Structure 1
Amino acid sequence: MLSRRTLLAALLASVAAPTAAFSPAADTIPLWPMGVPGAGAALPVEQVVERSKVAGHMDRAVSGIAAPRMVVFRPERPDGSAMLICPGGGYRRVVIDREGFEAARWLAVRGVTAFVLFYRLPAEGWTTGADTPLIDAQRAIRTIRARAGAFGLDPARIGVMGFSAGGHLAADLAARFALVAQPPVDAIDNLSARPLLAAPIYPVIAMDGPLAHAGSRERLIGADASAERARAHDPSANVPADAPPHILIHAEDDLAVPPGNSLRLREALKARGIAVETHLFETGGHGFGLAPGKPAGAWPELFIAFARAHGL
């Protein structure tokens, strides 16, 4: 018989599980092994909340990430390609299962080595502020590139995928991969952070006007941010001439992040002459992930076809 105290302890453990619950240490790569830059007076405390309403189907959200890292999903037969996956969560948390591990497993079955990014959240006291997630994403691409030999990867065949606010991060990386947001700390930081291609999935793009997702905007740049600051963190306003090809996925009935966000980025990419493929599904809402069994569930195969066409 379990005591009431034992049951309570088990419940608390499931709500605030330790980092090690995600993956064995051998499958986890710290981004900053010599110390995380940009720390404020106090580090956030990592918290994990299980939100699933379906038995046997995990849906964990992580906040307070003080040790940014990647969890690696290695295929049985790696084809030399890699994808960095940036889960969403409105820059308030990182939705690690539905928009991270599930996509990583799907890619690994198809030969792609997948790296799920646990990135720092910008409103949790980091001195680098709104650029904090971008700094981690840049470092992640560079770390994958630096370790390509160990994973049997072609360092030129590394892409990025992101969902919702993670889609913003993926698009931001594809736009500002060359930004020096902090001084280099080692030789890894001298490698290119440019991805071969980018796949923002129902992404937050706009930081102003009716298209903006209020929660992401507030936590990234502040509710009262100036027009100049909003523009600096809008990927559609910062597309460089050497941006990578993009595939954009959105649902027409997305009420949280309107599909106009993807269309705004598409227009900016087209204006720069950057290859872009866009798929708008009639239904799907927001946060559909892989969307198995639903019309929007066609997008992963569309992504694979796009990735093959562009060398991944």
Structure 2
Amino acid sequence: MSIGRRTILLGGLAAGLAARAAAQTSLPPAQDARPLVHADPTEFIDLWPNGAPGAPSPLPAEALRERSTDAAFNDRILTNVARPRMAVFRPERPNGAAALIIPGGGYAWVVVDKEGYELARLLAARGITAFVLFYRLPHQGWAAGPNVALSDAQRAMRLIRRQDGLDPARVCAIGFSAGGHVCADLMTRFAAPAYDPIDAADCLSARPDAAAPIYPVVTMSAPHAHAGSRRNLVGENATAVLERAHSPHLNVPADAPPTFLLHAEDDNSVPIENSLMLREALRARGVATETHVFPDGGHGFGLRLARGKSVENWPDLFLGWGRYQGLWT
């Protein structure tokens, strides 16, 4: 994964010009044209200016679907991601910190509102520039296979570090469920050559300065693997070698970033053992780890569904941890 000096210089010019004028692909219209409770972001950054590498033919046909039947909130999902990109939420008074938000969806789709836009608005209100990642799905024929979402996450981190006005040493990654797996994969395999470099941004580190996998999918092995995520990521008949390669707790380097873990004990979808295994692996490598376990909350609570449960105040814990890590004030 080498890149020549001439390519770096030319790519540096291109990347600098592209930092603000990047190609933008908004989300497709929702199949259910219900009114939006909150306005959607107007800024998007395409990860791959000439299209994502290793594309299948034909490309997946993106679709946005509304799951909510309550007029008080939206709960959309994006399926068949063909053009991976980030939705950008810029604060009125930015403090220089940034967060890459990686929603879940069992590697079958990417959640838009519940684990993406809702948190992005909260962070932006506190001065943190938030980037919601819409990543490709590994079972849809991309050449990178199980590494395709990691490729997008690495590229996203590097592009964030190219953004004007942001401190490249204060970029946090936070992911939920299968997005928590992407987050955990990123924080443990940030140095893995997941794609061939295309410009000077790819000379930058993909390592998050801190990471927060929330109710994450971690292991790809029985008995604690999330069946849907495992099927979509490595397949029903994955070998032990393939399972290990995509189980972040088995790939923790000594320089993994400080980590915030959070899970509910009554999670009947992704067993809490996923977070506990990652915690033990991080501690064994001497990585600073803060872990919160709550008696109730279930799975997929995000922000809105945490209300009225013991897990309700988790965003305050996360923001406090970020302050302790020096990410924001």
TM-score by length of 2: 0.87
Moved more, 286-295 or 132-141: 286-295
Deviation per CA, 1:10-64: give whole Å up to 9, x if none: xxx64267xxx9532xx11110112211112211000111001321300001111
CA distance in 2 between partners of 1:179 and 1:165 (Å) = 19
Q: Alpha-carbon deviation of 1:187?
A: 1.2
The 2-side partners of 1:293 and 1:100 are apart by 21
* Matched position secondary structure for 2:268: coil
Give ranges in structure 2 of 5+ residues lacking alignment.
1-28, 34-38
Distance 1:258 1:141 in 2: 28
Match in the other structure for 1:260: 273
Corresponding position: 1:38 with 2:51: no
User: 1:189 Cα deviation (Å)?
Assistant: 1.1
Residue 220 (structure 2) pairs with residue 207 (structure 1): yes
SS in 2 for 1:297: coil
The alignment partner of 2:253 has SS state of: coil
Q: TM-score, normalised by structure 1?
A: 0.91
Q: Report the AA paired with residue 226 of structure 2.
A: H
8 A contact 1:161–1:167 mirrored in 2: yes
Q: SS where residue 141 of structure 1 aligns?
A: helix
1:270 aligns with 2:283: yes
Change in 2 beyond 3 A, CA 1:40/1:217: same
Q: Percent identity?
A: 60
SS in 1 for 2:132: strand
AA at the equivalent of 2:219: A
Are the structure 2 counterparts of residues 142 and 283 from structure 1 closer, same or farther at C-alpha, using a change threshold of 3 Å? Answer: same
Partner of 1:182: 195
Code of the residue aligned with 1:23 in structure 2: it is P
Show the counterpart of 1:137. Answer: 153
Which of 76, 87, 92 is 2:103 aligned to?
Answer: 87
Counterparts of 1:109 and 1:51, CA distance in 2: 26
In 2, are the aligned partners of 1:74 and 1:108 still within 8 Å (CA)? yes
2:320 corresponding residue in structure 1? 305
Q: 238-247 or 27-36: which moved more?
A: 27-36
- What corresponds to 2:114 in structure 1? 98
Matches within 5 A, 1:110-149: 110-147=126-163, 149=164
Unaligned runs of 5+ in 1: 1-12
Shift of 1:73: 0.7
Question: Does the CA contact (< 8 Å) of 1:40 and 1:126 recur in 2?
Answer: yes
Residue by residue, what CA displacement relative to the aligned partner does 1:241-266 show, whole Å, maximum 9, x if unpaired? 10001000100000000111000000
State the secondary structure of the residue aligned to 1:278: strand
Aligned pairs for 1:188-227 within 5 A: 188-227=201-240
CA distance in 2 between partners of 1:190 and 1:293 (Å): 45
Aligned residue pairs total 293
**2:90 maps to 1:74:** yes
3-state SS in 2 of match to 1:296: coil
Partner of 2:41: 23
Runs of 4+ in 1 over 3 A off after TM superposition: none
Provide Cα deviations, 1:72-108, integer angstroms capped at 9, x if missing partner: 1111111110000000000000011000000101111
One-letter code aligned to 2:126: R
Secondary structure at the aligned position of 1:15 is classed as coil
Q: What residue in structure 2 maps to residue 7 of structure 1?
A: none
- Checking the alignment, whether the CA contact within 8 Å between 2:30 and 2:63 is kept in structure 1 is no
Higher helix share: 1
Q: Does 1:51 align with 2:67?
A: yes
SS in 1 for 2:313: helix
| SS at structure 2 position matched to 1:236 | helix
Q: CA RMSD in A?
A: 1.4
Match of 1:9 in 2: none
Which range is displaced more, 290-299 or 280-289? 290-299
- 2:311 is paired with a residue of what secondary structure? helix
**Match for 2:79 among 46, 63, 74?**
63
> Secondary structure of the residue that 2:173 maps to in structure 1?
strand
Query: Which of 140, 157, 168 is the matching residue for 2:170?
Result: 157
